[in-house]
Amino acid sequence: MKKLGLGVLGLGEGRSIISGALNSELWNVVQLCDLNEQLGRERSHEFSLNNFTTSMDALLANPAVDVVGIYTPDHLHATHVIQALRAGKHVICTKPFLNDLSQARDVLAAQKQSGKAVMVGQSSRFFAPFARQRKHFETGAFGEIIMVEAYYNADHRWFLKKGWAKTDAFKWLYGGLSHPVDLVRWYLPDIAEVMGYSSLSKNGRDLGLKNDDTFQFIYKSASGITARVSGTYNSPVIPLQRDSNMSCILRCANGASQGDYYDLRYAWKLGEQSCVETFEDKDDYYFRFGGHSHHAGEYQNYIEYFARCLAAGETPKPDVREGIVTVALMQAMEESCASGQPVKVKDVLARQGLVELLQP
């Protein structure tokens, strides 16, 4: 398999995809790009690379770059995805794919016109407990889904040190909740309607956050199955022994399962059998820079999946269509919080002329 050439745009969390690619036999790191020269120097030194530029145009003009990995602030993703596609590059864009639907039609058109692959880097799907939960579910042993619950709570007050996190453009509803929202849509792709509430916590207010940081939602799928999603981002969390920060629970006809981010746990019950599996021995693979604030292992898993899909002529998922519908769901959630009413995903998409994305 020919190695793919990677260009990385944004070197904060972009650090993780650099590590993932350098440790993969399927990728070459061709070029790094960030507006911040000092950070570029630090990353070049950290990974012994000598290919940094401050110019996105230079990155896009580099013929050795097959794929652009986009790790810039959330509100810039749409523009950067379009630019990369127009330059004839495949795209891997971190979550949230977009932070509203205003440029969604342009993103879709750019993807169609280029014929290039776009994959949303929904990293949690590629974390051992959630990947194992999915594979286990796909055996069919659990039977029909009755209910899905997913949450992501994190004390992310440190994140507000980033300049863009305190601007009006930054929304935890997209930046944080996109993880549990995506986990639910993985199992229930046809979420039709949402109802929810949100608030800005005292901690968030004191730190100067502009938008809400605390959320509770109920979903209904087209087939009538319900799901719950919640999250809070500026308050202390329960000790990990008792509560994983991020979790996905499937309640099904024949059994139930729970994937836990911490401590890389997966618990399940099927008939008389029950088991708690752990992937703690993989901690060093998943977290490579000390602490848990970067996601190199998840990214290595998703870029290798991306490369294998391309080699097999398959579309890596979540793709541009799935990504945009997830953004529409998050926009419906935002609208429900603002209006206090249930909101249909179809109505949100229809306003953008994108309702055809709901067709299978």
Ligand X SMILES: NC(=O)c1ccc[n+]([C@@H]2O[C@H](COP(=O)([O-])OP(=O)(O)OC[C@H]3O[C@@H](n4cnc5c(N)ncnc54)[C@H](O)[C@@H]3O)[C@@H](O)[C@H]2O)c1
- For the bound state, the minimum distance from the C-beta of residue 9 to ligand X, rounded and expressed in Å, comes to 5
Q: Which two tokens stand for residue 283?
A: 């901690």
Closest residue (Cβ) to ligand X? 12
Helix %, strand %, coil % for the chain, to 5? 40, 25, 35
d(CA 77, CA 69): 11
Task: Give the span between the Cα atoms of 351 and 29, in whole angstroms.
Answer: 40
Which C-beta is closer to ligand X: that of 269 or that of 317? Answer: 317
Residue the block writes with tokens 């981002």: 233
In whole angstroms, how close is the CB of 293 to ligand X at the nearest point?
A: 7
Minimum distance, C-beta of residue 223 to ligand X, in the bound complex (Å): 29
Tokens for 52, please give them: 């940094």
Min dist. Cβ of residue 143 to ligand X (A): 31
- φ/ψ (deg, to 5) at 316: -70, 140
Backbone angles phi, psi at 53, to 5 degrees: -140, 150
Q: What are the backbone dihedrals phi and psi of residue 7, each rounded to the nearest 5 degrees, phi first?
A: -110, 130
- Non-local (6+) Cβ contacts of 267 within 8 A are 257, 258, 260, 274, 275, 276, 277
CB of 122 to ligand X, least distance (A): 7
Give the ranges where the chain is alpha helix by DSSP (H): 14-22, 37-46, 56-61, 77-86, 104-114, 128-138, 172-175, 178-187, 202-206, 283-286, 296-312, 320-339, 345-351
Q: Which CB, 72 or 326, lies closer to ligand X?
A: 72
Residues within the interface to ligand X (CB under 6 A):
9-13, 33-36, 39, 56, 71-74, 76, 94-95, 121, 123, 162, 175, 295
Choice between 80 and 321, CB closer to ligand X: 80
Q: How far is the CB of 298 from ligand X (least distance, A)?
A: 7
Cα(336)–Cα(349) distance, integer angstroms = 15
- φ, ψ for residue 144 (rounded to 5)? -65, 145
97 vs 219, beta carbon nearer ligand X: 97
CB of 175: closest distance to ligand X in angstroms? 5
Nearer to ligand X, 175 or 255 (CB): 175
Rounded to whole angstroms, the Cα distance separating 103 from 97 reads: 11
Residue 94 or 245 with smaller CB distance to ligand X? 94
Report the residue number, 136 or 295, with the smaller CB distance to ligand X: 295
Neighbouring-strand partners of residue 217:
196, 229
Query: Smaller CB distance to ligand X: residue 57 or 144?
Result: 57
Helix or strand run (H / E) with residue 220: strand 214-221
Closest approach of Cβ 186 to ligand X, in Å?
15
Beta carbons within 10 angstroms of residue 27's beta carbon:
24
User: What gap in Å lies between CA 6 and CA 51, rounded to an integer?
Assistant: 11
Minimum distance from residue 154 beta carbon to ligand X (Å): 11
In the complex with ligand X, the residue whose CB is nearer, 27 or 71, is: 71
